[in-house]
Chains A and B, each alone.
Chain A
Amino acid sequence: MSVNELFKKELKVINMGLESFYEELRSQDVETIHVDWKPAAGGDKKMASLLGRLKGL
């Protein structure tokens, strides 16, 4: 969807990260969903990069 097409649509937001941003969208009745995000591979950088490479395959 191009930028100009987006301008004509109702905004529907996926929030990843600060929960306060999600709560504020919800308080404005914006359709939104909050991702229960956690660092990949428990934050282990080496494992995360391996996972990243696997996903790229």
Chain B
Amino acid sequence: MIQSIVRKNAYYDSVTLMLISREMKSMEGVEEVLVGMGTELNLDLVRNLNMFDANLEDVTPNDLFIAAKFNEELVTMEQLVNSFDEQINRKKEASAGDYRPPTLRSAIDHLGGANLVQISIPGQYAAEEAEAALKAGLHVMMFSDNVSIKDELRLKQLAVEKGLLMMGPDCGTAIINGVPLCFANVVSKGRIGLVGASGTGTQEITVRIDQLGEGLSQVIGTGGRDLREEIGGLMMIQGIEALLKDPETDVIVLVSKPPHPTVEKKIVDLVKQANKPVVIDFIGGDAASIIAAGATPCVSLEDAARKAVALLRGEKVEDFDGFDAPEEEIEKLVSNAFSTLSADQKYLRALYTGGTLADEAIKYLGENYPIYSNIPLTPDRALANLGGLEGHICLDLGEDEFTRGRPHPMIDPLTRTEFFKTHVDGSTAVVLVDVVIGYGSHENPAGAVADSVRDARARLKEEGKNLVVVASVTGTDKDPQDLRQSIASLEQAGVIVMPSNAQAVRLVDLIMEKMSA
């Protein structure tokens, strides 16, 4: 049976609703359920699932709907609605008593001395609110995406004019005055400042700095498009200037995908004048201009962290492209892993939730092997060109094509759990994953990976096969999920846990080299 209900003028955020949808979907007798606001995107999803009915015709983005396909002998629509109410009431109770002003203006009046606005409302409304915040003299962290590049430029120009931060749109990570914003880890306070245009890249560098025993002064996010020609690096430049003036910052780290040449020149020119050491990771970019500016280029995100720490301590700065563990130990790990595989297990499945971490993997492994991906190095390696499962695959599961109508896989591991089921088979030799913990992330992503690995192993065991799984955890022992516990639950499932994404990728490269020898 297909049924829907609509509640007029009841607004809830998308992540809350998607997580509740998921819980409801696990009820007995439920085939499909979608709870959402009546946006065009959500209604399209309902149509695609063939659940659209007359009730939904007049729904607006301000109305909540529940659409469900279910077996009426096992469950009723009433039970589904009750389940929704129970879950939403539980959430409401958790924050009962907090005053919730209806507008930005009333929030400013209510919270005396507010200095930053964190915006994660749907993209089409986000620019207007950000503009109002900047005009009121507040710094902005904007997680929302789907904001036009024209609006981004206008907002960033306004921020520069007023001397404010406009972090984003599509900015996932920042740590200001020790407070992690959106997706960020709990790291020690220290003397390294960072400006980042890539979320999980920033997270990886900050956690490695923390693990090396140093800390961060400020971590400023810019959003992924800041270093495009149209935006001209406005926020990265604003961030560098602030860190240069900051007495708490001794070393500066910059991380981004390769900038547009004109933007790179602006940044390099600014870095040339810097009176503090600057480490730059333009992931996969050209090192020559960085060296010419007197700055330090990097070979990986982890390398950026190590170099920043070395510069801070006055130690020798050199490329780190090896392992923490001694060579013999790594060789043993590789040959042990290889010895468990059958001759017809040939392929890599890299299933990433962090975009920059996936990017780092594909750039390294793609040099030696044909890797098919949704973010391919060359167009001929697009996933669609592979067709089946006979080839090496590396996916960024956080890209739009995998997140329509569901939360980002860092918030909800379901997407990766499904890919483990559909993309790991008897021809798979090695699975490579990232586990990103910290604020913003799921409460136990390592546990979800461990469950998927156990499930995949059980399936392969029926064919008399084993599976090699390599992971790294982007996190610290101060994060709510706890780094040590995350590593322990992965290791209990037989996962090889490496100390960084770069080392996990390099280990996989060695295993693949042995496989192709």
Q: Which residues of A does B touch, CB under 8 Å?
A: 1-4, 6-7, 9-28, 30-40, 42-45, 48, 52
Q: Which 3 pairs, one residue from A and one from B, show the smallest C-beta to C-beta distance?
A: A43-B61, A17-B120, A3-B242
Least CB distance from B170 to A in Å reads 13
Instruction: Kindly identify which residue among B62, B113, B124 contacts A12, using a CB–CB cutoff of 8 Å.
Output: B113
Tell me the nearest residue of chain A to B59, going by C-beta: A43
* 17 further interface pairs, Cβ-Cβ under 8 Å (given A6-B176, A12-B114): A1-B164, A2-B242, A10-B177, A12-B111, A12-B113, A14-B111, A16-B129, A17-B143, A18-B13, A19-B95, A33-B99, A33-B100, A33-B101, A36-B102, A39-B122, A42-B62, A43-B39
Chain A residues closer than 8 Å to B182, beta-carbon distance: 21
A19 CA / B138 CA spacing, docked (Å): 20
Q: Is there contact, CB below 8 Å, between B115 and A44? A: no
Chain B residues closer than 8 Å to A24, beta-carbon distance: 180, 439-440
Least CB distance from A50 to B in Å reads 13
Q: Is there contact, CB below 8 Å, between A16 and B120? A: yes
A44 CA / B245 CA spacing, docked (Å): 45
Q: Report the interface size for chain B: residues with CB under 8 A from the other chain.
A: 67
A20 CA / B439 CA spacing, docked (Å): 10
Q: Is there contact, CB below 8 Å, between B115 and A9? A: yes
Question: Can you list 19 A-B contacts (CB < 8 A)?
Answer: A2-B163, A3-B139, A3-B163, A3-B238, A3-B239, A7-B246, A13-B118, A16-B119, A17-B119, A19-B13, A19-B91, A20-B440, A24-B180, A28-B439, A33-B110, A36-B100, A39-B11, A42-B9, A43-B39
**Chain B 91-124 near chain A by CB (<8 Å), digits 1 or 0:** 1001100111111100110110111111111101
A27 CA / B16 CA spacing, docked (Å): 17
A21 CA / B99 CA spacing, docked (Å): 16
Q: Is there contact, CB below 8 Å, between B218 and A7? A: yes
A27 CA / B107 CA spacing, docked (Å): 19
B11, B16, B111, B179 pick with most chain A CB within 10 angstroms: B179
Tell me the nearest residue of chain A to B133, going by C-beta: A14
Q: A33-B99, A35-B101, A52-B128 are in contact. Are A16 and B121 (CB under 8 A)?
A: yes
Q: Which residues of B does A touch, CB under 8 Å?
A: 9, 11, 13-16, 37-39, 60-62, 91, 94-95, 98-104, 107-108, 110-111, 113-122, 124-125, 128-129, 133, 137-139, 143-144, 163-165, 176-177, 179-182, 217-218, 238-239, 242, 245-246, 248, 411, 439-440, 480
Least CB distance from A9 to B in Å reads 6
Chain B residues closer than 8 Å to A6, beta-carbon distance: 115-116, 139, 165, 176-177
Instruction: Kindly identify which residue among B138, B177, B246 contacts A14, using a CB–CB cutoff of 8 Å.
Output: B138
Q: Is there contact, CB below 8 Å, between B118 and A14? A: yes
Q: Is there contact, CB below 8 Å, between B242 and A35? A: no
Least CB distance from A57 to B in Å reads 15
A10 CA / B115 CA spacing, docked (Å): 9
A44 CA / B445 CA spacing, docked (Å): 38
Tell me the nearest residue of chain A to B239, going by C-beta: A3
Chain A residues closer than 8 Å to B94, beta-carbon distance: 23
Least CB distance from B174 to A in Å reads 11
Least CB distance from B277 to A in Å reads 19
Q: Is there contact, CB below 8 Å, between B102 and A35? A: yes
Q: Is there contact, CB below 8 Å, between A44 and B177? A: no
Least CB distance from A25 to B in Å reads 7
Instruction: Kindly identify which residue among B95, B111, B117, B138 contacts A23, using a CB–CB cutoff of 8 Å.
Output: B95
Chain B residues closer than 8 Å to A45, beta-carbon distance: 124
Q: Is there contact, CB below 8 Å, between A15 and B118? A: yes
Chain B residues closer than 8 Å to A40, beta-carbon distance: 125
A6 CA / B490 CA spacing, docked (Å): 40
Q: A7-B242, A18-B143 are in contact. Are A28 and B179 (CB under 8 A)?
A: yes
Least CB distance from A39 to B in Å reads 5
Tell me the nearest residue of chain A to B110, going by C-beta: A33
Chain A residues closer than 8 Å to B143, beta-carbon distance: 17-18, 21
